[in-house]
């Protein structure tokens, strides 16, 4: 079974409260989602492997460590975009892939309309990013797409999840560890997380 890590650092929880508040405006919402993206990345990448290379400091030659593997960030469109800059701020060498999903009106299943990945993804540590882990359907389908590339080291990164989404994701992809900053109470009948933060895409992009 995959590991679920709730990253409950006080700074992150403080920023999450700002993000949850319905009175928070679009600019502040976007800034805080990105800042959480940066902070949570420290936890997600804590166990990444490093390798030694030789460099020269202004004083002498020395051995020093760098990341052993590439990191590829894959936001699920559109809300996942809200965390990308924050994550990339702390991993500037990360490449970005994209997966776009829409919900088919008839089957209600998430359907891919766009997928583009950097070639490095096969051997990289892949961070699938979606702030909301609600039903888990989009995350499951996005990970299906990423796995088609041959990528194996995949982690899911979100802000707010719920027991239903976590269970679904763990059942579908038990090799994908989940990093989240809050496990909320439940999903409501409209598919929103309760208490949640509302529609993350709308709040990020001011579309409502
Ligand atoms: N997507 C959102 O943006 N918010 C939710 O609460 C659930 C899914």
HEC-encoded secondary structure of 4-15: EEECCCHHHHHH
Q: What is the pLDDT of residue 36?
A: 98
Q: Which of 13-22, 89-98, 107-116, 192-201 shows the lowest per-residue confidence on average (mean pLDDT)? A: 107-116
Cα(79)–Cα(205) distance, rounded to whole angstroms?
9
| Mean pLDDT, residues 45-49 | 96
Q: Give the model confidence (pLDDT) of 10-28 as tens digits.
A: 999 999 999 999 999 999 9
> What is the separation of C-alpha 95 from the centre of its chain, rounded to a whole number of angstroms?
14
Q: Is the pLDDT of residue 147 over 90?
A: yes
Residue nearest to atom 3 of ligand 1 (CA): 199
Ligand 1 closest atom vs CA 202: 3
Return the half-sphere exposure (C-beta side, CA atoms, 13 A cut-off) of residue 28: 11
Q: Is the pLDDT of residue 73 over 90?
A: yes
64 CA to centre of ligand 1 in angstroms? 43
Q: Give the model confidence (pLDDT) of 34-45 as tens digits.
A: 999 999 999 999
Q: Is the CB of 154 inside a 6 Å radius of any atom of ligand 1?
A: no
- 142: confidence class by pLDDT, cuts 50, 70, 90: very high
Q: What is the pLDDT of residue 104?
A: 76
- Whether 193 and 16 have beta carbons less than 8 Å apart is answered as no
DSSP string, 158-202: -SEE-HHHHHHHHHH-TTSEEEESEE-SEE-TTS-EESS-S-HHH
Q: Is the pLDDT of residue 53 over 90?
A: yes
- Whether 35 and 86 have beta carbons less than 8 Å apart is answered as yes
Q: What is the pLDDT of residue 145?
A: 97
Q: Residue 98 contacts by C-beta under 8 Å, 6 or more apart in sequence? A: 74, 75, 77, 114, 115, 116
Q: Is the CB of 76 inside a 6 Å radius of any atom of ligand 1?
A: no
Q: What is the pLDDT of residue 208?
A: 79
Confidence (pTM) = 0.95
Q: What is the pLDDT of residue 26?
A: 98
| Residue with tokens 């492997």, as numbered in its chain | 49
198 CA to centre of ligand 1 in angstroms? 6
Q: What is the pLDDT of residue 14?
A: 98
| Residue with tokens 């995949």, as numbered in its chain | 154
Total Cβ atoms within 10 A of residue 45: 18
Q: Is the CB of 158 inside a 6 Å radius of any atom of ligand 1?
A: no
Q: How high does pLDDT run on average in the chain?
A: 96
Q: What is the pLDDT of residue 107?
A: 74
Q: Is the pLDDT of residue 78 over 90?
A: yes
| Mean pLDDT, residues 108-136 | 95
Per-residue burial over 14-23, b if 16 or more Cβ lie within 10 Å, else e, is ebbebbbeee
Per-residue burial over 162-197, b if 16 or more Cβ lie within 10 Å, else e, is bebbbebbbeebeebbbbbbbbbeebeeeebbeebb
Q: Is the pLDDT of residue 108 over 80?
A: no
């Amino acid at each position: 079974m995959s590991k679920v890590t709730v990253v409950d650092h006080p700074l992150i929880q403080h920023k999450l409260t700002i993000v949850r508040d319905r009175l928070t405006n679009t600019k502040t919402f976007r800034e805080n989602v990105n800042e959480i993206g940066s902070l949570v990345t420290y936890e997600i990448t804590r166990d990444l492997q490093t390798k030694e290379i030789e460099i020269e400091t202004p004083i002498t030659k020395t051995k020093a460590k760098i990341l052993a593997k590439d990191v590829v960030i894959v936001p699920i469109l559109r809300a996942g975009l809200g965390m990308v800059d924050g994550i990339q701020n702390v991993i500037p060498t990360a490449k970005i892939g994209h997966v776009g999903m829409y919900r088919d009106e008839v089957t209600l299943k998430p359907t891919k309309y766009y997928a583009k990945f950097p070639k490095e993804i096969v051997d990289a540590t892949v961070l699938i990013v979606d702030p909301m882990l609600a039903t888990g359907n989009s995350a499951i389908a996005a990970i299906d797409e990423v796995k088609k590339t041959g990528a194996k080291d995949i982690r899911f990164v979100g802000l707010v999840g719920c027991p239903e989404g976590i269970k679904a994701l763990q059942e579908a992809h038990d090799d994908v560890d989940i990093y989240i900053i809050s496990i909320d109470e439940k999903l409501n009948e409209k598919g929103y997380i309760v208490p949640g933060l509302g529609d993350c895409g709308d709040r990020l992009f001011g579309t409502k």
